[in-house]
Amino acid sequence: MAIQTPTTPMHHPNLVDGTRRHILDLDDFSPEEIELVMATTDAMGEVLGREIKKVPTLRGKVIVTLFYEASTRTRVSFEEAGKLLSADVINVSSSGSSVEKGESLLNTVRTLQATGADLIVVRHPHSGAPYFMARNLERTSVINGGDGWHAHPSQALLDLYTIRQHRGSISGAKVVIVGDILHSRVARSNLWGLTAAGAHVVLCAPPTLLPQEFLDGSYREDPDSSGLASVEVTFNVEEAIQDADVVMPLRLQLERQQAGLLPTLREYSKMYQVDERRLKLARPGALVLHPGPMNEGIEISPQVAHGAQSLIEEQVHNGVAVRMALLYLLVANKEGPPSTAQDTPSGELPRRIRFL
């Protein structure tokens, strides 16, 4: 006779109760977690507005940035975020480290854990590398700074924050993502984050630059992608941008033409570039975002990139505050669960955040 064991609902780690140890993507983030990140970023933005920006919040903590690919924005903003919170920040790149001698990713990260790292921010060319690290680290947290074509959660969160700053709410906004969806880790994380926050997302790209599940519509039936069922797909950029609240062109990687996915860059620009004429189809005052780096004149015109509706430089500025929030929520809250919004008077931040 089989023994029946009682089953209990699986508890998913989350930032609200302090049980989440890693930030690997946004596909398992709840709306409450996103709102907590947004509220914490507000507090960090206030810190950045002070004459003396440094606070002692993470004094004595060790943050390691481990980058196997080139990066400017992500690496610099995480380093600045850690230093402004008074953490000791150590930069490690594959060149000049034991990786050049053949050391495996597993041995590298376990070495960093043994030296006392509290958190590792990793960028890796292979999708899934941060997940592998998280499974093999008992005491060190992991933030995915971009893995292959898969995910870039901190970029998506700073995009959400930038939209929220200007609209007050993300819910109900029509957000159009134009360009190389297939190879974009930013697009994937934004899809999860934007839909969780209640946005109406439209994807626009040539068929060769869309994932198969969006081409054949199977994403609507996939139980693992149930949160994306409301996403619309179109090949026509004018149709996509019509009445949009936010327009986000993606960097076209020049090797896509060499791989035969596009006839010519000139034809792509003609068909899909976000320019002034097309932007006029969006709602008045529509926001323009770009995850960077930009290829001006290809996916976005210089006039739009540097125009009044462009928030591209603001995204970079917000990236520091968002990454300060993520470091705070993962590292400071290891010492105990944070206060929740319900524990505080209306309009106030949780006590553990207000002391900054």
Residue-wise pLDDT for 136-160, tens only, equals 999 999 999 999 999 999 999 999 9
Q: Per-residue pLDDT averaged across 235-259, rounded?
A: 88
Residues 6+ apart with CB under 8 A from 305: 288, 290, 294, 296, 312
On the question of pLDDT at 9 being above 80, the answer is no
Per-residue confidence (pLDDT) for residue 321, from 0 to 100? 98
Q: Per-residue pLDDT averaged across 321-343, rounded?
A: 72
**Is there a single domain that holds both residue 124 and residue 192?**
no
Whether residue 278 is contained in a domain is answered as yes
Whether residue 3 is contained in a domain is answered as no
Question: What band does 264 get if pLDDT is binned at 50, 70 and 90?
Answer: confident
36 three-state secondary structure: helix
**Is there a single domain that holds both residue 199 and residue 78?**
no
**Is there a single domain that holds both residue 50 and residue 108?**
yes
**Is there a single domain that holds both residue 95 and residue 240?**
no
Q: pTM value? A: 0.89
Question: What band does 82 get if pLDDT is binned at 50, 70 and 90?
Answer: very high
Question: What band does 98 get if pLDDT is binned at 50, 70 and 90?
Answer: low
**Residue 210 vs residue 352, higher pLDDT:** 210
Whether residue 81 is contained in a domain is answered as yes
Residues 6+ apart with CB under 8 A from 298: 252, 265, 268, 269, 273
**Is there a single domain that holds both residue 203 and residue 78?**
no
Angle, nearest 10°, between helix axes 31-48 and 153-167? 80
Per-residue confidence (pLDDT) for residue 252, from 0 to 100? 87
Whether residue 67 is contained in a domain is answered as yes
Question: What band does 227 get if pLDDT is binned at 50, 70 and 90?
Answer: confident
- What are the backbone dihedrals phi and psi of residue 36, each rounded to the nearest 5 degrees, phi first? -65, -40
Per-residue confidence (pLDDT) for residue 7, from 0 to 100? 47
Which residues constitute the domain of residue 195?
153-313
DSSP single-letter state for residue 176: E
Structural domain total, the chain: 2
Question: What band does 70 get if pLDDT is binned at 50, 70 and 90?
Answer: confident
pLDDT digits (tens, 9 = 90+) for 157-198: 999 999 999 999 999 999 999 999 999 999 999 999 999 999
Give the domain CATH number at 263: 3.40.50.1370
Rounded percentage of the chain residues whose pLDDT exceeds 90:
76
Q: Give the integer Cα–Cα distance in Å for 286 and 149.
A: 28
Residues 6+ apart with CB under 8 A from 313: none
Per-residue confidence (pLDDT) for residue 349, from 0 to 100? 39
**Is there a single domain that holds both residue 326 and residue 274?**
no
